Amino acid sequence: MTVQRVLITAGAGGIGRAIVQAFMAQGAKVFVCDIDADGLTRLEADFPGVKSTLCDISNLADIEKMVALAAQTLGGLDVLINNAGIAGPTAPVDQLDPTDWAKVVQINLNGTFNVTHFAIPHLKKSAAGSIINMSSVSGRFGYPNRSAYSTTKWGLIGFTKTLSIELGADNIRVNAILPGAVDGPRFQNVLKGRAQLSGRSIEEETVAALGTQSIKHLVNPNHIADLAFFLASPSGESISGQMLPIDCDMQHTS
């Protein structure tokens, strides 16, 4: 297997950091962008050889410069992991500030489009290009009080399916990963938001969230990273246009 050249957005923490670790462990050349300067400093200290830059995924000019720098630094591009996204507020539609709605759309949907737009010319030069979009279980179900987040994650499904058709002739595979409730600070914040709306405790909200799953635990971010690595590897060369849930068999949202 040739050395893969990988661009990961929002790779300084959480799922993104786990994906960095998975690819670095297999000898890939990895470039990471994030808005968290301290997180990038820690990442470069923990994973010698990883390259990174600050980038605001809501800013088109930032993205254009970032993708060009990534391709130049790596000597090309084989894999794009569109991991950047924000959760947005927890509120019903009639109480959701339109500004907050627009911010979630700008980062989760427009940002993913813009990164991909600038990355495709580089990916077309790869012998085995792969794009992985990080959607969510929210891209399979409606999500009460999370309309902006859910809408953007559904949008990424349509984007993935369309890209897979457009780019198949260029031997570029495009897939989406749909994580469920992932163990980490972001989901804890979601639980806090639900508790504030419902008046229940965070513990009660946790039980309710796991109650929608056949397997009663939170998703390990390292397992999401393993799935991303598999999809981008030669073992995944026949997989494209697919939506892969990793959610402990979630049946519906709470």
Catalytic positions, written as ranges: 149
CB 50 within 8 A of CB 43: yes
Phi-psi region of 51 (alpha: psi -120 to 50; beta: other; left: phi over 0): beta
Q: What gap in Å lies between CA 177 and CA 112, rounded to an integer?
A: 14
Q: What gap in Å lies between CA 101 and CA 46, rounded to an integer?
A: 35
Q: What gap in Å lies between CA 147 and CA 186, rounded to an integer?
A: 17
Query: Which tokens in the block code for residue 240?
Result: 């494209």
Q: What gap in Å lies between CA 145 and CA 93, rounded to an integer?
A: 7
Q: What gap in Å lies between CA 107 and CA 104, rounded to an integer?
A: 5
Secondary structure (3-state) at 101: helix
Q: Single out the residue of 110, 100, 232 nearest to residue 174, CA to CA.
A: 232
Pairing type for strands 79-82 and 51-54 reads unpaired
Q: What are the E-state strand segments in the chain? A: 5-9, 29-34, 51-54, 79-82, 129-134, 172-179, 243-246
Cβ neighbours, 10 Å, residue 132: 26
